[in-house]
Structure 1
């Protein structure tokens, strides 16, 4: 089944070019036909925010070839390492450009065993000279990296049916129709960005391709010029919107905000709910993981006011439960444990090598999220932190997410574990704020203030998906 509705459109915010209907269908079909003449197997695609990248992705999907969506800002050496590990048959988008504001990284020469081609339809690409040793599993649809552009990421193996199931569930939960116009506020190689793309194109809606970002004036000009109806943002972007004094009344067509990609502070949920409600709009709070293709829950906008702090019930077709330390599972209200999810959108498993791409379903439709939470009497989920986000101070085990929650009134903050200390990174903190923060945490947690190392930063480091880059902070701590 295709991800592309016949009425879907792509609009380039810079040029105003529109690609839709029969013309878009034809370009996607041309990609599908071109791939038929290349080495069979997995396709790697560098996903910039432009129509060429989107048509390559859709055409690869229609060719029933698994596609890994990659950050175009990956250094050439990193891309070559991934190719060496996973032995894709084809690498597309070698001329893809990273988003505005990101350093462009040179792509290396074709690795050993590959030839470089300047294809008339597909552009510059690498083709494997021989078929891969391990043909991909026939159910495999999309591969997404687990850790942005840093580290040594595993790939999440999503089946075609999982991607389609979650796409349909989100169209249903958000009521997406062909009248919607979604702006590309998130990169398409990030699972939330991919989901926005999939759900709108499959519903026959329009996707506005704009890579400048929320802080750039041309972005907001484009919102009005092209009648954008919805924005999808992660928590850090909502922090930015508040600093920008976002007023939805300035954008008459904008009536829907969606949020996922981490926990949004309850006061910001209430704030943006009120801003949107004042103009007859909606805010949807969601919870997702790449391993679920990616969205697990949606809090209906109509229930948000009386469910502040919740991320809602499971998406259509899914089910939530809480697993306790004794191994039992429950849906009993108020019981806290690890959140488990069951649904048709759960991944097949992870891949760390090329051989793993041939594996089938290792999850059985069950996702152990690694997050802690509880359900209420209506089946609405409340997340309290990560199962493994802990540190020790003077032998006392502390939940780092709980400490971050204590710091909400101090602005953007990130907490990591140091050498018998908790290291707190605060944006824009001065010396007085640092001392006060250490004293406050010591009093609240009944520990000596020297167990808290408070550090100032101009801006918290972020992964390409907008989440805090804890690995970089840990390395600097």
Structure 2
């Protein structure tokens, strides 16, 4: 029998904007005066209340429609964190469009793949990735008139680039005030896609994860119940240090936080010293991090001296990769054990979080558990024979079912069928166990993805690229462990002629074509053959065994 969450959940059949904003009066002057978004760099210039959030989003929605956006059209934003990112997201959804984000670190080749896949009506790109966006759009066959430079409204379009500035897509105040988003019926809320989050899933090339209005409303309700169950959160402040082009930070801070009343300070990009400075200055209470950031913080001497006052922190949650008990305890020492680091688990296919600790459980002993099932979610452990394990402590693949499980992969029915069963179970690809108290633990990974500084790297994507090198006859990529429990991509290569290619040649070939997290920082190893089973599937377990036996780990010099 599957295990059920301790809490039930009834998801209303409403759109995301209706769920988020209908508590506000539609007349001017309504709503709280407390900001829900504050720009960390310019807090007096940019501080937006919930009403500001709604009104700016309506102006963006009205502007998009005036520019030609049709229902179901996609809008892609390629940018780091920006105080206006939530307004672009919500404005797109209000207008009946589908929002999709792209990592600004993608190469033109990588971004062009996403653009070809989702065929956006509009592409917004930050100044630091505008040239790559233009090249990618050209490769994908997009019209230049559909590309807009995105930044704060203090900026103007770059003179040397003949592109529109995104303010052209923002309608006037009066026009925005007249805009009314479309209400959705029960069936429409459950079936209409609101967001496309690109993920490698359990394997393979990036795929567009379709999240419906009901998926997002369910996740807002779930995390509101367990992460913000304390009714009085007026003095709670979060710091958005994670990138909002990933589903975790985007949904947590643009959807869940505002609905719960959390004030979020938005950093443009991660910097450890600056992050600790903001914690002290804004008296941050809630931190959502990935393990590499927490590990760096735990090892940084300025986190333990009097340089920064970090005493305001009450809650620390990490996600995106497992965190060992030893480093967890090291991090907790920053607060003399008074703050417990709690882990959560999630994937884009079950957005933001699927397992986490409840608000009242952020005390007690250190634990490597990722908590328990969110409200309305079922879970079970399935062994290699696809048989459910019923005994506590048994390991197997984690399967989840609930209202926050994705609709499917964009235009990829075969990948959807491989990942979601006909009766709605999501095969997560992670190996887990559950104890007698109902606490879940992620212990390994069945899926082939490599975790690099909180990001997911698909071996298949790198292998496909390696085969483009004229001297590569066969190739396989795995992740090798680092000293900080992170992973580095390593390539095993069968060369056509070993005298005509070096490790450095392969490293540089890949480096020039992929984002930084996908580089072969684990090195290159030349082998006589790639271990495979009779059907030709790469036996990565044997490659990992080979990596473990190597006395010297090769490192790419980048």
Given the two structures, how large is their TM-score scaled by the length of structure 1?
A: 0.73
Deviations 1:117-168 (A, max 9, x none): 6364427xxxxxxxxxxxx9952121111149xx942111111111221122
- The answer to whether residue 345 in structure 2 is matched with residue 287 in structure 1 is yes
Query: Which segments of 5 or more consecutive residues in structure 1 lack a partner in the other structure?
Result: 124-135, 391-399, 429-446, 462-477
SS at match of 2:271: coil
Q: What is the CA-CA distance between 1:45 and the residue it aligns to?
A: 2.6
Alignment of 1:263-302 (within 5 A): 263-276=322-335, 278=337, 280-300=338-358, 302=361
Match of 1:10 in 2: 37
- The answer to whether residue 422 in structure 2 is matched with residue 367 in structure 1 is no
SS at match of 1:68: strand
Asked whether the equivalents of residues 186 and 233 of structure 1 are also in contact (C-alpha less than 8 Å), the reply is: yes
Alignment of 1:384-403 (within 5 A): 384-389=443-448
Alignment of 1:194-273 (within 5 A): 194-197=250-253, 198-215=255-272, 217-245=273-301, 246-247=303-304, 250-273=309-332
Is 267-276 or 290-299 further displaced after alignment? 267-276
- The answer to whether residue 378 in structure 2 is matched with residue 378 in structure 1 is no
Match of 2:169 in 1: 122
Deviations 1:250-306 (A, max 9, x none): 22322221100010111122333454464x434321111111013111134737755
Asked whether the equivalents of residues 40 and 265 of structure 2 are also in contact (C-alpha less than 8 Å), the reply is: yes
Asked whether the equivalents of residues 233 and 260 of structure 1 are also in contact (C-alpha less than 8 Å), the reply is: yes
Match of 1:464 in 2: none
CA distance in 1, matches of 2:55, 2:381: 47
Is 113-122 or 32-41 further displaced after alignment? 113-122
- Closer, same or farther in 2 for the Cα pair 1:31/1:372, shift >3 Å? same
Deviations 1:365-402 (A, max 9, x none): 32111111211111211222111459xxxxxxxxx89x
Match of 1:107 in 2: 134
Match of 1:52 in 2: 84
- Closer, same or farther in 2 for the Cα pair 1:19/1:458, shift >3 Å? farther
Q: What is the CA-CA distance between 1:356 and the residue it aligns to?
A: 10
CA distance in 2, matches of 1:113, 1:450: 46
Alignment of 1:376-455 (within 5 A): 376-389=435-448, 404=481, 414=488, 418=492, 451-452=549-550, 454-455=552-553
Match of 2:183 in 1: none
Asked whether the equivalents of residues 240 and 264 of structure 2 are also in contact (C-alpha less than 8 Å), the reply is: yes
SS at match of 1:240: helix
Asked whether the equivalents of residues 521 and 555 of structure 2 are also in contact (C-alpha less than 8 Å), the reply is: yes
Is 373-382 or 447-456 further displaced after alignment? 447-456
Asked whether the equivalents of residues 322 and 331 of structure 1 are also in contact (C-alpha less than 8 Å), the reply is: yes
- The answer to whether residue 122 in structure 2 is matched with residue 91 in structure 1 is yes
CA distance in 1, matches of 2:403, 2:433: 22
Q: What is the CA-CA distance between 1:23 and the residue it aligns to?
A: 2.9
Match of 2:60 in 1: 31
Is 361-370 or 26-35 further displaced after alignment? 361-370
Alignment of 1:181-196 (within 5 A): 181-196=237-252
SS at match of 1:373: strand
Match of 2:367 in 1: 308
Asked whether the equivalents of residues 183 and 207 of structure 1 are also in contact (C-alpha less than 8 Å), the reply is: yes
Aligned residues: 405
- Closer, same or farther in 2 for the Cα pair 1:328/1:34, shift >3 Å? same
Match of 1:129 in 2: none
Asked whether the equivalents of residues 60 and 169 of structure 2 are also in contact (C-alpha less than 8 Å), the reply is: yes
Is 338-347 or 39-48 further displaced after alignment? 39-48
Q: What is the CA-CA distance between 1:344 and the residue it aligns to?
A: 1.0
Deviations 1:153-198 (A, max 9, x none): 2111111111221122112212263432211111111121113212
Asked whether the equivalents of residues 43 and 91 of structure 1 are also in contact (C-alpha less than 8 Å), the reply is: yes
Following TM superposition, the consecutive aligned residue runs of length 4 or more in structure 1 with deviations greater than 6 angstroms are 353-357, 425-428, 447-450
CA distance in 1, matches of 2:485, 2:401: 35
Deviations 1:78-126 (A, max 9, x none): 43443223222x22423x245xxx9974533666463516364427xxx
Asked whether the equivalents of residues 413 and 426 of structure 1 are also in contact (C-alpha less than 8 Å), the reply is: no
CA distance in 2, matches of 1:271, 1:450: 26
SS at match of 1:116: helix
Given the two structures, how large is their TM-score scaled by the length of structure 2?
A: 0.63
Asked whether the equivalents of residues 324 and 338 of structure 1 are also in contact (C-alpha less than 8 Å), the reply is: yes
- The answer to whether residue 388 in structure 2 is matched with residue 329 in structure 1 is yes
Match of 1:394 in 2: none
CA distance in 2, matches of 1:36, 1:320: 41
In the alignment, which of 197, 201, 214 is matched to residue 144 of structure 1? Answer: 197
In the alignment, which of 205, 208, 215 is matched to residue 155 of structure 1? Answer: 208
